[in-house]
Amino acid sequence: MIRFAITIFISAFLVFQIQPIIARYILPWYGGTSSVWTACILFFQLFLLLGYSYAHILRLYCKPINQIVIHTGLLLLALLFLPIVPDAALKPDSPDNPLLGIWYLLFVSIGIPYWLVSASGPLIQFWFKESFAGSSPYRLYSLSNVGSLLALLSYPFFIEPNLGLELQAWIWSAGFVLYVVLSLTCARKFYLSSKFATRSVENKKIKINLPVGTEQLLWLILSSSGSVLLLAVTNQITQDVASFPFLWLLPLSLYLLSFIICFDHSKWYDRRIWVPLYLVSLSFGFYIFTKASGATLFSQIFIHTGILFTGCMICHGEMVRIKPDPNYLTSFYLMIALGGVLGGAFVTLIAPLIFNGYWELQLIWCFILILIGFFLFKDYQSDSYWKKVSLQFIWVSICGGLGIVLLSLVSFWHENVIDFDRNFYGILRVKDKVIEGNEYWNERELLSGSIIHGSQRFDDEAIKRWPTTYFGWNSGIAVAIREHPRYKNRTDETQKFHVGVVGMGTATIAALVGQNDVIRFYEINPKVEEYANKYFTYIKDTLAEWQLVIGDARVSMEQELIRRDRQQFDVLAIDAFSGDAIPVHLLTIESFQLYWQHLKEDGILAVHISNRHLDLYPVVKEAARFLNKNHIVIDSFPQDDMSIDEARWVLITDNHDFVQRETVRLRQTEGLSKREITLWTDDYSNLLDVLQ
């Protein structure tokens, strides 16, 4: 019996340990957005479904000896695909069709091993049931979820901080070899089982009596609801911070924990406890949306994960209430996996087409309320017809009230919005800013999520050319350009000054350069460039020559070096944010080394580190220290009458003439955080160290 338990535990550990490992490999290749993780999750859900389908087919249509031969043969074949290290040649050349690119990369890198190890849950549990008469396999399902949970929790706290990414991949590959050996021992026990003689009879009986209709539909609905809630919450809490393992794995861990609790024993799910907890957490959820960007990081995480956990406890608890006899084990797991895929497909593929915001989150909140009402009144027994009708009316009123709140949120989202787009890289809105009582104020903003990514005043022709938001005349990037000796002291009007910008926004930085200068933008989201040209005029008004490179900045710069196209920037500005989230791969030491290959010797690297949730100064300071370069911090303060926001820039340079300028020294910010952190690399980054 112990061999089955260990095999299932290790297989579950491998299934969930590979997810953050492989996602971290490919995250930098697709811009570091949270959509990379949700795309990966959908792939994992699909291959989990394929694994469960494979186990179901083996169980129904193959004799025991054939099950063993087929599964063993495929496991040995899968060893040829190790180690699971993605080929760097698969890096995308352009941001077109990122979903297809991610799925193809995952398929060729881990597809076969992941498919087979994911089949272990239902297949090994069925072998266990056949080998030990009278034993229920459902607790093994709970054990497998414990293995999954341990894999997720160990990654951000032990694996990621202590092991390099390539070493992680090799260790996982060694674990897969161990799993293959253990599977062979389980197959041997299954082969020696005395159940073989009655197997064909049981197959026919199972085939005829499989649950159909309402039961299977409810399994599917409950599973897909939990999946939608998981991915919608993950999207919500990663879009404004960063797409990094802890914020991926916390929601997934709570999702799995609900499976563990519910499948361990039905007594752990009590509607009298979990339904009120869900209602309370939901009230906080709607409240936090009225706070918009004012909510703290910890309150957002606590409330959203609270809704996730209580909602999943209800979905999975009701699923356990109607779970079938163990004879129908594989079909039950198959429907759970299918529901997961449908939920993932809705969030990843359908929601971006039909919603302009992350409305699937509030929608699933309300849908779970409807499910609660269905199950409560389905089982409710009362002698009074009117009492039952009254309770149903109250519940419908609650659902309707929350629906009205949701519609009001949607209406507020659209207020003064003239255009919007939701794609793989996030949500963009172009919005006219209205100042009550000031009919002369005419300002337009570009927002990513709830964060302003640039604005422009249209009061008159002179004001229209003002640099606004984080790029005002007193900002760090303006000082870097204006006080650069080559820019300050040039006497020849034809002498070009080269500026590179990672992250285009409204192209406000174009207002800081002059005639004959060259400004080169790197932007991963093609829609940003379209909006910058269509609704803003910084690009049209600039006297400088401007260039645009569509694609992830780091990948694009690496390809330029391969082509021996070194840019020779005088100033390079790093201002790439998705919402308020930072693409971590643009702040590692490898990325800083890349930037310096494109800068002149006396160039200035300007890094924008304004952030509501993270203190990024220690990250940039450590990189400057490693590179043995000077760094200064320049804070600029809000000026409402000029539409300028508070901003913090770190300037890194070897240009001593620039650093010693009186005008620069007077602008430096002193008394910054003394926090010491470990240098961020492509193998290691820990946002927990820099939380505000």
DSSP 14-25: HHHHHHHHHHHH
Q: Which helix (H) or strand (E) holds 386?
A: helix 385-414
Same fold, 1-205 and 210-376: yes
Tell me what pLDDT residue 204 has.
43
Tell me what pLDDT residue 531 has.
93
CATH number of 468-690: 3.40.50.150
Tell me what pLDDT residue 56 has.
82
Q: Which CATH class is domain 1-205?
A: mainly alpha
Domain residue spans in the chain?
Answer: 1-205, 210-376, 468-690
Q: Which helix (H) or strand (E) holds 183?
A: helix 165-191
Tell me what pLDDT residue 207 has.
46
List Cβ neighbours of 341 (8 Å cut-off, separation of 6 or more). 42, 45, 46, 48, 49, 227
Torsion angle (degrees, nearest 10) of CA 328, 330, 335, 339: 150
Tell me what pLDDT residue 608 has.
92
List Cβ neighbours of 183 (8 Å cut-off, separation of 6 or more). 7, 11, 71, 72, 75, 120, 124
Tell me what pLDDT residue 201 has.
41
Tell me what pLDDT residue 202 has.
45
What does the alpha-carbon distance between residue 470 and residue 383 come to, in Å, rounded to a whole number? 66
Q: Classify the phi-psi angles of 676: left when phi > 0, otherwise alpha if psi is within -120 to 50, otherwise beta.
A: beta
Closest CA to 366 of 389, 329, 325, 395: 395
The label of the residue with tokens 């849950």 reads: 121
What pTM was computed for the model?
A: 0.81
- Residues in the chain where the model's pLDDT stays below 70: 93-96, 133-139, 141-142, 193-213, 240-245, 290-295, 326, 329-330, 379-388, 436-440, 491, 493-494, 577-581, 671, 692
Contact 519, 545 (CB under 8 A): yes
Tell me what pLDDT residue 294 has.
59
What does the alpha-carbon distance between residue 581 and residue 583 come to, in Å, rounded to a whole number? 7
pLDDT digits (tens, 9 = 90+) for 179-212: 999 888 888 887 776 454 444 444 444 444 455 5
Q: Which two tokens stand for residue 110?
A: 């881990």
Tell me what pLDDT residue 145 has.
77
Torsion angles phi and psi, residue 500, rounded to 5: -110, 145
What does the alpha-carbon distance between residue 228 and residue 230 come to, in Å, rounded to a whole number? 5
Tell me what pLDDT residue 205 has.
45
Q: Where are the beta strands (DSSP E) in 118-234?
A: none
Q: What is the DSSP string of 208-267?
A: HH---THHHHHHHHHHHHHHHHHHHHHHHHHHTS---HHHHHHHHHHHHHHHHHHHH-GG
Three-state SS at 455? strand
pLDDT digits (tens, 9 = 90+) for 21-62: 888 888 878 877 777 888 888 898 898 889 888 888 888 888
Tell me what pLDDT residue 547 has.
92
Q: Which two tokens stand for residue 265?
A: 């024993």
Q: Where are the beta strands (DSSP E) in 434-543?
A: 443-448, 451-457, 498-502, 518-523
What does the alpha-carbon distance between residue 565 and residue 498 come to, in Å, rounded to a whole number? 14
Q: Which CATH class is domain 210-376?
A: mainly alpha
Q: Which helix (H) or strand (E) holds 55?
A: helix 34-61
Tell me what pLDDT residue 241 has.
60
Report which residue type is found at 346: F
Task: Tell me how far CA of residue 597 lies from CA of 518, 568, 584, 609, 632, in angstroms.
Answer: 18, 8, 19, 22, 21
What does the alpha-carbon distance between residue 244 and residue 232 come to, in Å, rounded to a whole number? 16
